[in-house]
């Protein structure tokens, strides 16, 4: 069995076809084979993680600050934070 990669919330095949075995250390037997990520796979995963992080920050920040700040203040701070994280 070959395991797919999880990128951006969904199972995806690697751009490459190289696999790596995963062993049961007690029995010394191969459990499954996992696709090895290519540089493009890693870039896609990092982009997805970055988007997810900033979406989460915006959601939490908005909930915590909306009671005390105006919408324009929240937008200004979020724009500055996004520019730093890009």
Closest CA to 8 of 58, 39, 42: 42
pLDDT at 69: 67
φ, ψ (nearest 5 deg) of residue 49: -65, -40
What is d(CA 35, CA 33) in angstroms, rounded to the nearest whole number?
7
Q: What's the confidence (pLDDT) of residue 57? A: 82
Residue 1 pLDDT > 70: no
Q: What is the pLDDT of residue 25?
A: 92
- Residue 86 pLDDT > 60, yes or no? no
CA 45 to each of CA 11, 55, 78, 82: distance values in angstroms, whole numbers, following the listed order = 12, 15, 23, 18
Q: What are 8-63's pLDDT values in tens digits?
A: 887 777 777 788 889 999 999 999 888 888 899 899 999 999 988 888 888 877 66
């Amino acid at each position: 069995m070959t395991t797919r990669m999880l990128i951006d919330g969904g199972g995806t095949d690697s751009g490459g076809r190289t696999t790596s075995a995963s062993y049961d250390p007690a029995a010394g037997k191969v459990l499954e084979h996992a696709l090895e990520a290519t540089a493009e796979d890693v870039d896609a995963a990092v982009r997805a993680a970055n988007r997810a992080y900033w979406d989460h920050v915006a959601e939490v920040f908005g909930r915590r600050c909306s009671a005390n700040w105006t919408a324009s203040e929240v937008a200004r701070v979020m724009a500055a934070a996004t520019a730093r994280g890009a």
